[in-house]
Structure 1
Amino acid sequence: MQHLTRIRRFALELDRGRSPYRGGELLSGRVVLDVTKGLKVRALAVCARGLATAHWLESKSIGMNTVYSDYTAFESYLRRQQALIRDHGEVTVLPAGHHEFPFTFQLPETLATSFEGKHGSVRYWLKAKLHRPWASVKKAKKEFTVIEPIDINTPALLAPQAGAKEKLARAWYCNRGQVSISAKIDRKGYTPGEVIPIFAEIDNCTTRTVVPKAAIIQTQTFIARGNKKQKKSIVASIVGDSIAAGKREVWHGRALKIPPVGPSILQCRIIHVEYALKVCIDIPGTSKLFLELPLVIGTIPLHPFGSRTSSISSQYSVNIDWLRMGITDQPEAPPEYSSVVSGEETVGSLSPPCPEEASGILEGPFFAYIQEFRFRPPPLYSEVDPNPPSDNSARPRCMTC
């Protein structure tokens, strides 16, 4: 009891506070110890740990008995220890007051992102142990977060994703018609907070009204002893307008926003976190039609003028020195129109010629065509042909006539 009253504070502090870490970085901090009186210490050590754990139970009935199978798996990512006060067989006396013991750990290059799931987790923590004579070990623990970067500015994650599916709707052995869907998204990689524009076409050739839906699905996969346990959840969804029988619906970039979710985990051996965009057609009286497009939720957002441009330019490297040979460093500005054409010439060029001056040239058909369209505005754009072909020109001639 005497030892407990002498320790006012025993804690771990990190230099970066709650900021996340990544593989290869330095993890530095200090052990803080406040004592009211002189304290005898044998040793003080701090360790850094990182562990992925997968665990679940499965029950199976055998006769009148229920047998439970335990599935557990571990994968260690970090196991380092540092002695701050070494045990040399002698007691170290710390005077009353505030004491700080700094430490530094080099994190491994490859780590898995921190994660908390239903059947497993990836956790990182620091633990300090204070050994005293004739007293229990004093412990302090502090967790920290690791987020491994996933750059979506890579060719694999910038590639568009597309797919198509169709389904024959049946109810009580009656053919209700066919439903087909084709969908496309701009790329595979996105970051939280971005909007996914969905381009889709849904053809409802059934006799029922169908409802299209889209959702982002998170799939957590836990692996232990050669078996898998999955948990799927919807993180965001939208519902489209109902499509009547025999009609078609087109989505011109229907927006689906990604909420704040954790990034994909693809490198861990026992825990995977994957995402997918699932487009669903709800057909009354029969099963739904699903179309799934893979997604990767990253941590480094898209740089439209950065890595993508550089990656494209690196693939198509062309020597353009010959283009610069004819270009001066400071090109001369073009002259003003008024300095080239005088005022009298300008008025003369914009006014129609007098009949006396152009008595000879007004006779030609080419000048008449120019005069007709010279002072008229350009025609308005229209997709309807203003001069449709006549029936006489479209009717084929009889070869016998």
Structure 2
Amino acid sequence: MSVAKNFKIILTKSHVVYFPGQDIDGIVQFNIGEKIETTGVHLELTGLSYVSFEEKLKKTKNAGICHHSSLERYWHTKIDLATKDGATFSLTTGTYQYPFTAQLPDDLPTSFECENGCTRYYLRSYISRESQGDLDCLLPFTVITFFNLNDSPYAMRSEEAEDVQTVGCCTSGSVNTRLKVAKLGYVPGEKIHINGECDNKTQNTLKNASLDLKMNITLKATDKERFLQKDVRTWRLGEIQANTTLCLDDLHLVVPPLPSSGSRFCNNIDVHYCLQLTVQVTSGVTSTASVGLIIGNVPLELGDNVFTGRKGADDSEHTDKQLPDPIRSLTRKLNGAAVSRDSDFTVTLDHYFPLPGPGVDDYQERVPLQCPEIKWHPSYLCFVQRPDKGTDGT
């Protein structure tokens, strides 16, 4: 049984979502069941991105696997909560609490999680023990970097895509898919107005038709890049009978909680989005129309911004107080209020959490920890209808 019980980090904010430049504060707390000798109680605050993937070598005589990785460290601060200049001292039985505060740097990328990479922020408190190993406590938290869609010259642009697939050597007809969005820029919680159709000019019933919101991820290791595509949301469209047209004009899609496009300040990971209409024509042929989307977290001031219902709107006042003044002033002009919503991306922080060592450029190994694994997912700004307020925020 561990001699340090209920070892935890408690943040002052009830929602563990922060923005660059803000203060992060709280307490480290634990109970000592029996006296231990230590050289200090410490707290590390760290932000990093890490990508790691393998490549099979096929064109060499000695075929094998090549490992590619890259680590960027954006922030690392160590706070000595209790120390006696490196000398050993005793922690006797009882409850210990240590307050802390630190300021986040201004240039931090948004938290992100995927199978082969992450941009991650965490607090790690540990009790140093020279002969028995450190006792650890780990707490991840989300950092959100603002992407104001009003700063993008492309966010207000419309985009259209079309694809035609011929069946039966031009004798049995064709399948024509078309997809159009009135603008490219959206925030989580906003509805996407779709204009599109699938015109089935064949004698066959098309059974597999879907509209997919896809995340396109580029992982950038030191000497290799890997492209991943992840389905964020899928909307099944049902069957399309022979010689009929499926119209999508009345279909309204809602953007889920997501990190913003582009991965600003991060060189390891690049993220972009697209909306794709896919219809299975034959077993080996699909008709696909795809348009790009720009996901931000500050909505467009112009245009028709339609947000989801008011579920969670009671939390908007709490989130509003945390926003920097320029962003708060802008969002108050809209009919949408920002709340913090959990994403669908869940990760397990296990005993081999990727901690950066002193030589970041030479970093290869992942450091084992003593604390138990943690299931965690980042949270992102999501907009809902502002309750009982006009578009001017009054």
Paired residue type of 2:186: Y
Q: 2:289 aligns with which of 283, 288, 291?
A: 291
Summarize the Cα distance change of 1:8–1:210 in structure 2 as closer, same or farther, 3 Å threshold.
closer
Distance 1:21 1:56 in 2: 29
1:364 corresponds in structure 2 to none
**How far 1:167 sits from its partner (Å)?**
2.8
Matched position secondary structure for 2:139: strand
Higher relative helix content? 1
Q: Does 1:21 align with 2:53?
A: no
Q: Alpha carbons of 1:309 and 1:14: their partners in 2 closer, same or farther (altered >3 Å)? A: closer
Secondary structure at 2:249 match in 1: strand
Question: Corresponding residue for 1:68?
Answer: 65
Report the AA paired with residue 291 of structure 1: A
CA gap 1:210/1:139 in 2 versus in 1, 3 angstroms = closer
TM-aligned CA deviation for residue 259 of structure 1: 4.1
What is the distance in 2 between the residues matched to 1:119 and 1:160? 33
Give the secondary-structure state (helix, strand or coil) at the position aligned to 1:283.
Answer: strand
1:269 is aligned to 2:260: no
1:143 to 2:140 alignment:
yes
Residue 60 of structure 1: how far off its partner (Å): 2.7
Distance 2:115 2:93 in 1: 46
Q: 1:42 aligns with which of 30, 34, 39?
A: 39
Q: Give the drift of 1:40.
A: 4.8
**What is the TM-score with the length of structure 1 in the denominator?**
0.64
Conservation of the 8 A alpha-carbon contact between 2:154 and 2:184:
yes
2:159 pairs with 151, 162, 167, which one?
162
Give the structure 1 partner of residue 190 of structure 2. Answer: 194
Q: Highest Rg: 1 or 2?
A: 1
Change (3 A) 1:185 1:309: farther
Amino acid at match of 1:230: F
- Higher RCO structure, 1 or 2 (CA under 8 Å, sep 6+): 2
Report if aligned partners of 2:12, 2:25 keep a CA contact under 8 Å in 1: yes
Q: Which of 230, 233, 236 pairs up with 2:234?
A: 236
Q: For 2:107, what is the secondary structure of its paired residue?
A: coil
Residue in structure 1 matched with residue 55 of structure 2 by the alignment: 58
Distance 1:196 1:206 in 2: 30
> CA separation of 1:94/1:203 partners in 2, compared to 1, >3 Å: closer, same or farther?
closer
Matches within 5 A, 1:285-364: 287-300=285-298, 307=330
Change (3 A) 1:38 1:218: closer
C-alpha distance in structure 2 between counterparts of 1:122 and 1:217, whole Å: 19
Could you list the runs of 5+ residues in structure 2 that have no partner in the other structure? 306-328, 335-394
- Structure 1 portions without partners, runs of 5+: 312-401
| Offset, 1:166 | 4.1
The offset of 1:256, in angstroms, is 2.8
CA contact (8 A) 2:110 2:263 kept: no
State the Cα distance separating 1:223 from its structure 2 match. 1.7
Task: Say if 2:205 and 2:239, in contact at 8 Å, map to a contact too.
Answer: no
Of 104, 123, 126 in structure 2, the residue corresponding to residue 126 of structure 1 is 123
CA distance in 1, matches of 2:248, 2:5: 64
1:1-16 alignment runs, 5 A limit:
5=3, 7-16=4-13
Q: Percentage identity across aligned positions?
A: 24
Q: Tell me how far apart the structure 2 counterparts of residues 27 and 8 of structure 1 sit (CA, whole Å).
A: 24
Q: Deviations over 1:145-200 (max 9, x none)?
A: 223333445554641422243435153x5455555444321322333343322112
Instruction: State whether residues 18 and 145 of structure 1, in contact with CA within 8 Å, keep that contact through their aligned partners in structure 2.
Output: no
Aligned match of 1:279: 277
Residues 188 and 63 of structure 1: is their aligned pair in 2 closer, same or farther, counting only changes over 3 Å? closer
Q: CA RMSD in A?
A: 3.6
Equivalent in the alignment of 2:79:
82
Corresponding residue for 2:94?
97
Q: Distance in 2 between matches of 1:89 and 1:283?
A: 71
Cα pair 1:161 1:294 within 8 Å, conserved? no
User: Could you say which residue in structure 1 is the equivalent of 2:224?
Assistant: 227
Paired residues in the alignment total 306
Flag the 1:130–1:204 CA change in 2: closer, same or farther, 3 A: closer
Which residue of structure 2 aligns with residue 258 of structure 1?
255
**Partner of 2:75: helix, strand, or coil?**
strand
Q: Say if 1:79 and 1:63 are closer, same or farther in 2 by CA, change over 3 A.
A: closer
Q: Distance in 1 between matches of 2:145 and 2:102?
A: 17
For residues 25-81 of structure 1, what are the alpha-carbon distances to aligned partners after superposition, in whole Å with 9 as ceiling and x for unaligned? Answer: 111122224335665543222111112111111213357753111111111122111
Tell me how far 1:95 sits from its aligned partner. Answer: 5.4
> Following the alignment from structure 1 to structure 2, what is the Cα–Cα distance between the partners of residues 158 and 286?
35
C-alpha distance in 2, partners of 1:286/1:94? 68
Length-normalised TM-score, structure 2: 0.65
Q: Which deviates the most, 25-34 or 300-309? A: 300-309
